[in-house]
A = this chain, B = another copy of it.
Amino acid sequence: MPRELKYAQAINEAIDLCMARDPSVYLMGLGVPDPKGVFGTTLGLRAKHGDRRVLDMPTSENGMTGVAVGTALAGCRPVMTHQRVDFALLALDQIVNQAAKWRYMFGGKLKVPLVVRLIVGRGWGQGPQHSQSLHSWFAHVPGLKVVMPTTPYDAKGLLISSIEDDDPVIFLEHRWLHGITGPVPEGVYRVPLGSARVMREGRDVTIAAISHMCLEALRAADTLAEDGCQAEVIDIRSLRPLDEKTVVESVRKTGRLIVAEGGWRSCGFGAEIVARAVEQAFPSLKCPPCRIALPDCPTPTSPRLAAKFYPRAAEISEAARAMLGIRETRPPVPASAPLDVPDPSFTGPF
């Protein structure tokens, strides 16, 4: 039986292996060496690699991102961590104006091999300022690469590829994935940046999903199967570069597309996938594609409103049924079920 690890452990192992192999890799971020170790993803690394390479930092997101960029210019490979995507809004000059552009605007003379790990908060009242995803923003910017692994296997393989990559990579981890388990081989392996993965094959509808929404998509596919609908679930994994081919080929096969993501709908990544599918597979489309995304409002804190805010498997399968003309069968989610925790073991507050 293959070894199973948690997603957080897979991240941890990826960093550990890269640090062991390459002395120029170092890890920096608020709370990196603290007793909780960024949701477990950095635990033990300081003991192994020393406090010069595994370090805390001041609450200075923009400045410290600039510092990381500078060390990258000097030949280091920084891995920077922010506990929430929202904090990175302070660092966008350095991420977008600088890191993303230094290679191009200096005519290829410089490179910025920087990984920025950003954690997407969710649940237990993270609310308006601690749960934004913003992957669509990063995916808009030439010069950045953007990945969002869903499985522990991909988390490790993509993080190793990201750290070894010579360009700045935005590595987005959904908080609700840290606790999921899955097979993770020992040692170094790589998942290439720029490749999507078919998680489940099917011929009736393509569900292209991102990050945590892949799990919802798989659940949706299960219930759809009961209704005789074979959904193909694609984990986009890499938003930039994008593996357009895998999505388009699937859409050519199924003729139907649902995109499921955990960001806002308007001008979101879902629109890009829809546009690509329409541009490349127009003649195959049997019906208009459908986007499952966050409604266009900030994240509400109250668990009751949050439960309405986040779309789940049911919304996806409902969309598929509507496309295929299948009658609704699922029982509605009981109103009392807690929908603001990743699993029952989670008891807050973070």
Query: Which residues of A are at the interface with B, using a C-beta cutoff of 8 A?
Result: 62, 86, 89-90, 92-93, 96-97, 100-101, 104-105, 127-129, 136-137, 139-143, 240, 242, 263-264, 266-272, 274-275, 278-280, 282, 285, 287-291, 296-298, 300-301
Contacts and interface: CB of A to CB of B under 8 A. Distances in A.
A142 B265 CA distance: 10
Given A89-B92, A105-B298, A279-B289, A136 B267 contact: yes
A216 to B, nearest CB: 20
Contacts of A264: 140-142
Contacts of A266: 139-140, 142, 240, 242, 272
Contact of A139 (B267, B272, B290, B301): B267
Given A62-B90, A89-B92, A142-B297, A267 B272 contact: yes
A86 B90 contact: no
Nearest to A259: B275
Contacts of A271: 267, 271-272, 274-275
A104 B309 CA distance: 14
6 contacts: A86-B97, A101-B298, A142-B296, A268-B272, A275-B275, A275-B289
Contacts of A275: 270-271, 274-275, 289, 291
A140 B139 CA distance: 13
Given A141-B264, A264-B141, A274-B275, A298 B100 contact: yes
A128 B105 contact: yes
A295 to B, nearest CB: 8
Contacts of A287: 282
A297 B104 contact: yes
Given A140-B267, A282-B287, 18 more contacts: A89-B97, A90-B93, A104-B128, A104-B300, A105-B129, A136-B140, A136-B267, A139-B267, A140-B264, A140-B268, A142-B264, A267-B269, A267-B272, A274-B279, A275-B291, A279-B289, A279-B290, A280-B288
A97 B269 contact: no
A208 to B, nearest CB: 13
Contacts of A97: 86, 89, 128-129
Nearest to A105: B128
B143 A298 contact: yes
Top 10 nearest A-B pairs (CB, nearest first) are A282-B288, A271-B271, A271-B275, A140-B267, A105-B128, A274-B275, A142-B296, A89-B92, A271-B272, A89-B93
